[in-house]
Amino acid sequence: MKRKRGSIKKRGKSWLIKFDAARINGVRDTRYATVQGSYQDAQRELTRLLGEADTGRLPQATRDTVAGYLRTFLEGLRSVSPKTRERYIELAEGQIIPHLGAEKIRYLTAVQVEAWHAALIGEGLSPQTVVHAHRVLAKALKRIKNSAALDVDLPAVEAAEIEILSPEQIADVLAKLEGHTLFSIVSLDLATGLRRGELLAQQWGDIDLDKATLRVERSVEETKVGLRLKPPKTKRGRRNITPPPETVAMLRAHKVAQMETRLALGMGKPDDETLVFSDIEGELLKPHTISRAWRRVLEAKGLPRVSFHALRHTHASMLIRAGVDILTISRRLGHSKAAVTLDVYGHLIPGADEAAANAIAGMLS
């Protein structure tokens, strides 16, 4: 009697597929896959996998350990930015390999992954960090089609409360930063909501002071090998922003002051490629340098100790308070979708629940 090459079992809300792909040196090559949906969906996936195995199109299963495969996989990973790849390597070396490194990656199970999650939580890591580490492992597991080990529940992550300055705090910050080197960049961030890297990548050619427009084309990224300019992640990242008249006046004054400094140093007048914010030699500033200077000035002047990114959140909250629609806010912030903006800032929309109640009341009456 011919042996069945595959089986399907219910596993939680998904289906676990087990099938024989081939024989390698007389040893059966058993593979696993997880399918969401109906039993018929699982049957179709099993048929597809067996077909790929029979025609030689099924990816060769690796016999590497988790440590060996992860290091090779991440070394060759080019679908993410250098900064992201550095973070993936940190998570692999710090959180994944010490616990799972000796295991054969093709035989890794969901039980082992869940035990790893529990061990990381037991070590005091935040659920958010555990989820980030899991995503790195998941990338490798998907590459070798070991999805059985991914059929796990991730630790619950509480949404971080965003930091926002009140109108009174905004006025206090701007008043106490008057004359400080951070005044211009802080003012521009509050007025435009640009990300830190986008602010540092701004060139004078991106800004039309006469038409009061600012163009976002690039961002500064800091990696272990230095600084680089990178394009926005999505097409929505490239955008035009209209700053208010007060900000245009501030930028004019900032450009004059920068020109005076450059002329005194023999660097010539600013041109279109001159950075709006730079070091004394006109070179790119490191993002963490700005954040460190921001923390120091907050402490020195007795201001609310919030992150530099809070300026972007504050900009969004001011727009919401003014009644600007979410789609416009999303485009101004450079979010890929308006849903992202709603997810982050939806709770700040005033009167939304009251309006919903009134609408229902009207229909019921």
Task: Tell whether 48 is covered by a domain.
Answer: yes
340 contact partners, CB below 8 Å, separation of at least 6? 330
Asked if 72 and 125 sit in the same domain, the reply is: yes
Nearest to 35 by CA among 55, 51, 12: 12
Could you tell me if residue 354 is inside a domain?
Answer: no
Q: How many domains does the chain have?
A: 3
132 is written with which tokens?
A: 């980030």
Domain membership of residue 158 (yes or no) is: no
Domain of 248, CATH number, reads 1.10.443.10
Give pLDDT tens digits along the chain (365 positions).
455 788 998 877 778 888 887 665 556 777 777 777 899 988 998 998 888 888 877 766 667 889 988 998 898 888 888 889 999 999 999 999 999 999 888 788 888 999 999 999 999 999 999 999 999 999 888 877 666 677 888 888 776 778 999 999 999 999 999 999 999 999 999 999 999 999 999 999 999 999 999 999 999 998 888 899 999 878 899 999 999 999 999 999 999 999 999 999 999 999 999 999 999 999 999 999 999 999 999 999 999 999 999 999 999 999 998 889 999 999 999 998 989 888 888 878 766 566 556 666 655 65
272 and 302 assigned to the same domain:
yes
Co-location of 106 and 213 in the same domain: no
Please tell me whether residues 143 and 18 are part of one structural domain: no
The pLDDT of residue 1: 45
Q: pLDDT per residue over 45-85, tens digit each?
A: 899 888 888 887 776 666 788 998 899 889 888 888 888 99
Beta bridge partners of 43: none
Tell me: do 294 and 258 sit in the same domain. yes
Cβ atoms within 10 A of the Cβ of 252, count? 11
Say if residue 76 is in the same domain as residue 48. Answer: no
| The last residue of a domain, from among 93, 120, 150 | 150
Q: What is the pLDDT of residue 111?
A: 87
Strands 239-241 and 27-36: unpaired
Residue 272: per-residue pLDDT: 95
> What pLDDT, on a 0 to 100 scale, did the predictor assign at position 273?
95
Contact 204, 272 (CB under 8 A): yes
The answer to the question of residue 155 being in a domain is: no
CB distance 14 to 36 below 8 Å: yes
In a domain, 323, yes or no: yes
Q: Do 333 and 207 lie in a common domain? A: yes
Regarding whether 299 and 202 lie in a shared domain, the answer is yes
CB-CB contact of 81 with 227 (8 Å): no
Is 185 a domain residue?
yes
Of 122, 150, 178, which residue sits at a domain end?
Answer: 150
Residue 179 sits in the same domain as residue 315: yes
Same domain, 195 and 126: no
- Residues 183 and 299 both lie in one domain: yes
CA separation for the pair 3, 23 (Å, rounded): 14
Domain that holds residue 117: 66-150
209 and 262 inside one domain: yes
